[in-house]
Amino acid sequence: MTLTTHATLGAVIGHATGNPLLAFIFGFISHLLIDMIPHGDTGIADNYKIHKRRRKQAIAYVMVDAVIAIIFVLLLANTRDIESMRAYSFGIIGGVLPDLLVGIYEITKTRLLRWFNTMHFFFHDYFVKRKGDVPLYYAIMAQIVLIAYLQTKL
Ligand SMILES: [Zn+2]
């Protein structure tokens, strides 16, 4: 999923729990679970891993995704009366952290994170492996609809 989707879901979980620690834990778990829904990024991952020439495009996708997510959660924080800023923040942190860990693993290949990387992609690829992926365009449209819905829950 896009980081904006993970971050917004984390924010809603923060709002629902009202507790920073629970927000963090459930935000983290929500990442793995929502990633199970096929969301069109298999091609991007393959571009990065196999087709070296298209690497730049995959990296650009991640950069655009990350900056949009930052802007979006800041806009939410500045336009809503967030009851617990701590729960909001830790929900978001838990929601996006798995992809940070996967990114650090991709860069360092450290053994400390190998198990986590494997677990992340166990969830991420669970249905994609069996049923195939969906086109990225539709997946992004669906995520915009989901984000539009989720932000009403804040
Ligand atoms: Zn992920």
Please report the pLDDT score of residue 54 as a whole number: 79
Distance 93 CA to ligand 1 centre (A): 13
Please report the pLDDT score of residue 42 as a whole number: 85
Distance 107 CA to ligand 1 centre (A): 16
> Which residues in the chain land under pLDDT 70?
none
The position carrying tokens 């952290």 is: 97
Please report the pLDDT score of residue 43 as a whole number: 79
Please report the pLDDT score of residue 47 as a whole number: 76
Please report the pLDDT score of residue 128 as a whole number: 94
Please report the pLDDT score of residue 49 as a whole number: 76
Q: How many CA atoms lie within 13 A of 134 on its CB side?
A: 13
Distance 96 CA to ligand 1 centre (A): 8
Nearest to 8 by CA among 124, 154, 137: 154
CB 24, CB 93: distance < 8 Å: yes
CB 17, CB 23: distance < 8 Å: yes
Please report the pLDDT score of residue 144 as a whole number: 97
Distance 102 CA to ligand 1 centre (A): 8
Please report the pLDDT score of residue 52 as a whole number: 73
CB 16, CB 88: distance < 8 Å: no
Please report the pLDDT score of residue 10 as a whole number: 98
Per residue, what are the HEC states of 62-119?
HHHHHHHHHHHHHHHHHHCCCCCHHHHHHHHHHHHHHHHHHHHHHHHCCHHHHHHHHH
